[in-house]
Amino acid sequence: MWDTLWTDIHVATADPALMSEKDGYGCIHNAAIGIENGRICWVGAARDLPEAPQALAHDIRSGHGLWMTPGLVDAHTHVIYAGDRSLEFAERLNGVSYAEIARKGGGILSTVNATRSVSENELFDVTARRVRRMITEGTTTVEMKSGYGLTLEDELKQLRVARAIGNALPIRVHATFLGAHALPPEFRDRQDDYVSHLITDILPQAVEEKLIDSIDGFCENIAFTTDQIERLFMAAHELGIPVRLHSEQLSNSGGTRLAARYGALSTDHLEYVVEDDVMELAKASTVAMLLPGAFYFIRETRIPPVDLFRKHNVPMGLATDCNPGTSPSVSLTGIMNMACTLFRMTPEEAFSAVTRIGSQALGLQNITGTLTTGKAADMLLWDIAGPHELSYWIGGRRPLHRIFDGKLDPVI
């Protein structure tokens, strides 16, 4: 017998096989979902169940006519950090420039210093508080980057915290090594030497400890060059580790084309990509990960070319980009609303972006992201009029119930 059978539900599966021009959610009305050993073993219209519910499952649960969706996938976050930068937000609004804030010890290096100064246990505690908020907002899978340590000891500390979060809390964690995030003060004016340090010292140790699932970098005129990022990507390729990239956020610097050439899982931000870049993403089947939280927070005016992504069938993902400097957000449904209002994405596109396409951006499309047979039973029960409502509420909407790995979890 199955472990659990959910009945009296409407299901937005996010399954492309069920989508049409009139239904971009893959809906099944008056549906049922069977779960066995944490996996979906049956999904379809309740009238098509092979036997009476009592003969199929040990535990029968009613959804009381509500909507079930896949768990949400947050495929770009910097959630592992210590310290606070909320005062900088107030200072900027009062006319203090970013350069002046940095001279006073603010900016990204203030987060680096704060993250370096705490123990691994302390870093776990502050991170877990944020992740618990993500869980209450419906996130069941989260990507977590390093990049606020920038030393061997502190990068590994962040990555160990990512692994510990995945073991301690009901959430799937994809850990990303982002040593090429910023230049640490120890390597001032020695950027190439720092990239060598990442490749020869930090990366091998992280791999030996099995701490990383992918490698990221910040390719931009204020960060790392395409040549430097390519050295990192070549090292990742030799180790068989997938890559992703922050690119074209502030200018067109060639990072997107580089990422596509290396078959990146995703390229992220992308306000300044041009059509040639988009065509390369399409050839590589790389996800265009859009981050409206950062766009909103820094008051960017150049919108990512959503129409070009549509034209060339490049999959569009959405993520919170949770970080202390430019996107203090933990709510994916709030991000969906921003994407629809700021980027003119449709609610159907936003829904796929934080479910099916989000899982693709993490290489987890065979595990999660849709409510289909064989996938993990990571599911959310919502008291909503339909899946379109998930993009409606300013500030986001929380699920009524959360099922993770087949188990009904209390909202933390």
Structure token digits, residue 76? 């770009």
Amino acid identity, residue 100?
A: E
Amino acid identity, residue 277?
A: D
Under a CB-based contact definition with an 8 Å cutoff, are residues 27 and 370 in contact? Answer: no
323 annotated binding-site participant:
yes
Q: Rounded to whole angstroms, what are the CA distances from 145 to 3, 218, 346?
A: 35, 12, 28
Pairing of strands 139-145, 172-180: parallel
326 annotated binding-site participant:
yes
Pairwise CA distance, residues 194 & 340, whole Å? 39
Which residues, at least 6 apart from 259, have a Cβ–Cβ distance to it below 8 Å?
219, 233, 243, 244, 245, 247, 267, 284, 286
29 annotated binding-site participant:
no
Q: Exposed, middle or buried, 19 (CB in 10 Å: 0-12/13-18/19+)? A: middle
**At 360, which helix (H) or strand (E)?**
helix 356-361
321 annotated binding-site participant:
yes
CB atoms within 10 A of CB 60: 15
Under a CB-based contact definition with an 8 Å cutoff, are residues 79 and 166 in contact? Answer: no
325 annotated binding-site participant:
yes
Amino acid identity, residue 152?
A: L
Amino acid identity, residue 176?
A: T
Structure token digits, residue 189? 């004016």
44 annotated binding-site participant:
no
Q: Rounded to whole angstroms, what are the CA distances from 297 to 274, 301, 321?
A: 23, 11, 11
Pairwise CA distance, residues 401 & 408, whole Å? 7
141 annotated binding-site participant:
no
Under a CB-based contact definition with an 8 Å cutoff, are residues 75 and 321 in contact? Answer: no
Under a CB-based contact definition with an 8 Å cutoff, are residues 182 and 108 in contact? Answer: yes
Q: Exposed, middle or buried, 163 (CB in 10 Å: 0-12/13-18/19+)? A: middle
Structure token digits, residue 199? 């490749």
Which residues, at least 6 apart from 41, have a Cβ–Cβ distance to it below 8 Å?
2, 34, 35, 373
- Residue ranges of the binding site: 76, 78, 85, 148, 181, 246, 249, 321, 323, 325-326
- Residue ranges of the binding site for 4-imidazolone-5-propanoate: 85, 148, 181, 249, 326
- Residue ranges of the binding site for N-formimidoyl-L-glutamate: 148, 323, 325
- Residue ranges of the binding site for Fe(3+): 76, 78, 246, 321
